[in-house]
Amino acid sequence: MKKLLVKIKQQWAKSLGPIWRRFQLTRWFVAFCLSVFLIISIIGTFEAKTTDVTNLKARLRNTTQIYDINGNKAGSLSGEKGTYVSYAQISSNVTDAVLATEDRNFYHEYGFSITGIGRALILNAMHKVTGNGAVSGGSTLTQQLVKNAFLSQEQTTIRKVRELFLAVQVEKVYSKHDILAMYLNNAYFGEGIWGIQDASQKYFGVDASQLSQTQGAMLAGMLQSPNGYNPLNYPSAAKARRDQVLQNLVSYKKMTQQVANQLQAEPINATNHAVDNSSYEYPYFFDSVIDEAVNKYHLKEQDIMKDGYKIYTTMNQKDQSNLQDDYANPYLNPIGNDSQGATVVLDARTGGVRAVVGGRGEHVFRGLNRATQIRRQPGSTIKPIVDYAPALSRGFSYDSKLPNHEMTFGTNNYAPKNYGDVTTDDVAMYIALEKSYNIPAVWVMEQIGLNTAYQAGIKAGLPLTKADKNYAMAIGGLSKGVSPLQMAQAYTSFANGGQMSDAHFITKIVDASGRTIVDTVKPKQTRLWSQKVANEMTSMMLGVYTNGTGVAADPTGYTVAGKTGTTEAVGKENNATVATDSWAIAYTPDIVNVTWTGYDNASQSISPYLSATAGPLMKKSLEQIIPNTAQTDFDVTSVRTKQKEQTSESNSTKDGVSGNIKDIMGNISKGAKEAGDTLKKGAQTIWNGIQGILGQ
């Protein structure tokens, strides 16, 4: 070894030494090191000063709370959180075990450990030389806390620099006891369990303050590998790790060897206890809230779940609870089997979602929400939006006569058919809508122009594409389809006097420090139709649930307007008797309710009759929701009521004219009789006079 050093020294003096001295490489090396140190200091200082650590405890302690439209708590998003406990509520058997194993100098360092960093650098260099993929962290408990709370898990130099400076900043704000408590409350213990309190309950059925020495040692040992040292799945590995932690306590002078030996002889004694601190009571609504916060307000899911926000929403808890109960009722699902459904209820004036259910069966966190995410053919429910309302805006009337016989349209000779191939003489527009005839709807679209109909759909918020600009659009034949939420939003324009209200779930978001970061007090509205057109459309659609295709869902004791729709199964024999989608849309001046039923697989067919699909569910939900509203009356009456009133007035007029004629004729007859009697009396008087003269 001595000869090797001498040889290296000689080689240096002969070749590298002169070059090193000539170019003053020592100075350059020192300058380089100082520059690197300066850059690191700038990055670290910037990170520490721009990251708010003052609300860290509040973020970790508080779960994100969800509030309903009245400001009442509706639930919470626990995310990667358990039940938070203070330092005083954590047994010293745990804290001693954690410090003995994870960070023995915790109370003597200022957020980072020079020794630990140096050791980690040396070990990582050795791992790279030997090709070992292992990584040594060298992080203190404070560094681990800020890594989990503020940073990613990536192993980079920049991340380590940020971690170090943030740790120093946290140490300035919080006491050591607070930091240790935050670390243990934010730690993962396998089985989906976060925090020392829930872990104590999960594996031992006791509170964190009641943990014994062996129990505390086992949980402390799990921190290194929560899944690998899971006592329920790997009891032998968990015991070996626990015994190592007990030995660490001996080295840390918190336990004698004799006591450690006695405790190491004990079995692990961990059993599975049920732990449920979740309050995810309205899963599809909460999913939608998270989606809106992420997609519209650009928050991150992990922040929403972990950072203790207060999210105020448009939910009506009574409507939401009732709707969830309805979906759990098999009698309201006549399709049965593994069929699916979705319902969304909007406040017509504000567009706020009162209730939403996105499917039947087991809920998957942020999985498919059929109320907001599916794209299905809307069938005849699209007719008021792209056919009849634009037609009324261009001079048509509710009683305009429309052709209802077989005909073709466009250069490709598109030939729509009515259900059951029914044709009739020309029909009034309101009857065509009530009976959901297809031919009149396509004819109307031809009259107003494809582009006019297409632009009406776009303005109503429907996700139409250029491929949809054809006559099939008139009866709901779209390239991709629509969601129930999109249809509900569009129909608010009819319920709200021509103004479409933007659908939304969130009204306000407040962070853990109390700062309001989202405030949407004033809902956005877009005028689609004039008040006159909206009223005429409502007047026509009031007949759908009393005289048309919606009779099976007509709510007892309440008046609703709306439209139904089905999509015929393409390519099936007798396709007029089977469908793939069933829609029911109903509204009052207060709410819009949209329900879709069918199968996720569109090749599976259902009945075309509302009574055998969405009808029972829609009827039940309307009878629950409407009484929970202001029950505002419609400003208009149905076309049929208007016609009855007009017929009654016409009959009254006829009766009046007939009576007047009879009176006149009676008076003439009476006058003639009186005149005759007078003449007769006069003649008699004259005759008597003549006789008197002659007699004389």
CA angle 520, 521, 522 (to 5 degrees): 95
Q: Please say if the pLDDT value at position 135 is more than 50.
A: no
Residues 146-204: tens digit of each pLDDT: 888 877 656 666 667 777 778 888 898 999 999 999 999 989 999 889 999 999 999 99
Q: What pLDDT score was predicted for residue 38? A: 63
Rounded to an integer, what distance in angstroms lies between the CA atom of residue 65 and that of residue 510?
Answer: 10
pLDDT bucket at 115, cuts 50 / 70 / 90: low
Q: Indicate the burial class of 64 (C-beta count within 10 angstroms; 0-12, 13-18, 19 or more).
A: buried
Instruction: State the DSSP H helix or E strand holding residue 45, giving kind and residue range, or none if neither.
Output: helix 25-50
Residue 216 has pLDDT above 50, yes or no: yes
**Backbone angle region of 75, left / alpha / beta, with phi > 0 → left and psi within -120 to 50 → alpha:** left
> Average of pLDDT values for 298-307?
88
Question: pLDDT band for position 361 (50/70/90)?
Answer: very high
SS3 sequence, 304-335? HHHCCCEEEECCCHHHHHHHHHHHHCHHHCCC
Quote the CA–CA distance of 92 and 418 in Å, as a whole number: 78
Mean pLDDT of the 346-372 span: 96
* Rounded Cα distance, 187 and 172, in Å: 22
Placement of tokens 């569109």 in the chain = 602
Q: What are the CA-CA distances from residue 237 to residues 199, 218, 230, 354, 355 (Å)?
A: 18, 10, 8, 51, 48
Q: How many CB atoms lie within 10 A of CB 408?
A: 12
Tokens standing for residue 583: 């829609």
What three-state secondary structure class fits 369?
coil
What residues does 565 pair with on adjacent strands? Answer: 583
The pLDDT value given to residue 461: 97
Quote the pLDDT of residue 109.
86
Please give the pLDDT value at position 10. Answer: 63
pLDDT at 404: 97
Which helix or strand (DSSP H or E) is residue 73 part of?
Answer: strand 73-77
Residue 120 predicted with pLDDT over 90:
no
> What distance, in Å, lies between the first and last C-alpha atoms of the chain?
192
Provide, rounded to the nearest whole percent, the portion of the chain with pLDDT above 90: 65
Structure-block tokens of residue 151 = 């940073």
pLDDT of residue 180: 95
Output the furthest CA–CA distance in the chain (Å, rounded): 195
- Per-residue confidence (pLDDT) for residue 291, from 0 to 100: 96
Residue 648: is its pLDDT beyond 90? no
Q: Which residues contact 140 (CB under 8 A, 6 or more apart)?
A: 103, 105, 106, 109, 111, 112, 113, 116, 167
Contact 360, 337 (CB under 8 A): no
Q: Please tell me the least confidently modeled range out of 21-25, 235-239, 553-557.
A: 21-25
**Residue (of 140, 148, 227) closest to 185 by Cα position:** 148
Rounded-to-integer distance, Cα 686 and Cα 693, Å: 11
Q: Judge whether 171 and 191 are in contact, CB under 8 Å.
A: no
pLDDT at 657: 43
β-bridge mates for residue 76, sequence order: 65, 279
pLDDT tens-place string over residues 421-431: 999 999 999 99
Residue 405 confidence (pLDDT) above 60: yes
How does residue 544 score in pLDDT terms, banded at 50, 70 and 90? very high
pLDDT at 433: 97
310-313 and 64-67: which strand pairing?
parallel
**Separation between Cα atoms, residue 333 and residue 343, nearest integer Å:** 13
Residue 192: phi and psi, rounded to 5, are 70, 15
Of 36-50, 310-324, 544-558, 641-655, minimum mean pLDDT range: 36-50
Task: Extract the tokens encoding 677.
Answer: 């009697």
- The residue type found at 475 is I
CA angle 470, 596, 340 (to 5 degrees): 120
From CA 318, how far away is CA 300, in angstroms rounded? 30
Please say if the pLDDT value at position 653 is more than 60: no
Burial environment of residue 684 by CB neighbours within 10 A (0 to 12, 13 to 18, 19 or more): exposed
Q: How many residues does the chain have?
A: 696
- Where b means 16+ CB within 10 Å and e means fewer, 208-231 reads bbebbbbbbbbbbbbbeebeebbb
Confidence of residue 668 (pLDDT cuts 50, 70, 90): very low
Strands 591-598 and 579-587: antiparallel
Distance CA 320, CA 356 (A): 7
d(CA 661, CA 476): 56
Question: What is residue 670's predicted lDDT score, i.e. its pLDDT?
Answer: 53
- Averaged pLDDT score across all residues of the chain: 86
Distance CA 219, CA 102 (A): 12
**For 81, how many CA atoms within 13 A lie in the half-sphere containing its CB?**
28
DSSP class of 557:
T
Rounded Cα distance, 465 and 437, in Å: 25
| Each residue's pLDDT tens digit, 511-540 | 988 899 998 767 899 999 999 999 999 999
Per-residue confidence at 118, pLDDT binned at 50, 70, 90?
A: low
Exposure pattern of 477-491 as b/e (b: 16+ CB <10 Å)?
A: bbbebbbbbbbbbbb
Q: Which residues are catalytic?
A: 102, 380
Secondary structure in 3-state letters for 463-509: CCCHHHCCHHHHHCCCCCCECHHHHHHHHHHHHCCCEEECCECEEEE
Q: How far apart are CA 430 and CA 548, in angstroms?
A: 10
With a cut of 80, say whether residue 663 has pLDDT above it.
Answer: no
| Residue 258, token pair as written in the block | 């004799």
pLDDT value of position 675: 47
Q: What is the pLDDT of residue 551?
A: 97
Give yes or no for a contact between 326 and 621, defined as CB atoms under 8 angstroms apart: yes
Q: Worst-scoring range by mean pLDDT, 59-68, 131-140, 207-216?
A: 131-140
- The answer on pLDDT for 447 being more than 70 is yes
Yes or no: say if 520 and 507 are a contact pair by the CB < 8 Å rule.
Answer: yes
What is residue 554's three-state secondary structure? coil
User: Tens digit of pLDDT for each residue in 234-270?
Assistant: 999 999 999 999 999 999 999 999 999 999 999 999 9
Q: Which residues contact 265 (CB under 8 A, 6 or more apart)?
A: none
> Can you give the pLDDT at residue 679?
43
- What pTM does this model have? 0.78
28/9 Cα distance (integer angstroms): 22
